[in-house]
Amino acid sequence: MDRYILLDSIPLFKNYVLISALAAWSLAQVIKVPLEFLRTRRWNWALLFRAGGMPSSHSALVASTAHGIGLSAGFDTPLFALAVAVAMIVIYDSTGIRRQAGRHAALINAMINDLATGHPLKQEHLREVLGHTPIQAFMGTLMGIAMAQAFWMYGWYW
């Protein structure tokens, strides 16, 4: 059986809004590794599976989804309005609440280090990079829009 016929018979593989959104998310996650290397001169492959960092994969995912819906269903539809509203919530959360949680983790880790100088504590540090700076969210948003636009321009939306 021809593999293209098989893929065409599964509706999920025809959802190009979803495919471009997942591609934008994946690209954002992959790009984090070389960007971190340029910054620290160390390879950190764990970034492929972590939240936070440049660019924001959450912003790329929701921006690509919203833009893809706009391209395929129309920018004047209620579905596009819903997609934009969800994207705004996700991006706000990534730059606000999750960023603050990261700051709290940094403060707690500093307190543990201070205590450890007098009394060694064997506790694990909390993750400090939970959220995104506004520029990280902005770059992820641009990446998501560009990915959806590329899928649409090359005829991957029907």
Please give the Cα distance from 106 to 114 (Å, whole number). Answer: 12
Query: How much is the pLDDT for 83?
Result: 96
Q: What is the pLDDT of residues 60-116, one digit of tens each?
A: 999 999 999 999 999 999 999 999 999 999 888 877 777 777 777 777 877 777 777
Is the pLDDT at 130 greater than 80? The verdict is no
Query: Please, what is the angle between helix 57-73 and helix 134-153, to 10°?
Result: 40
As a dihedral over the C-alpha atoms of residue 44, residue 40, residue 140, residue 13, rounded to 10 degrees, the angle is: -20
Query: How much is the pLDDT for 27?
Result: 93
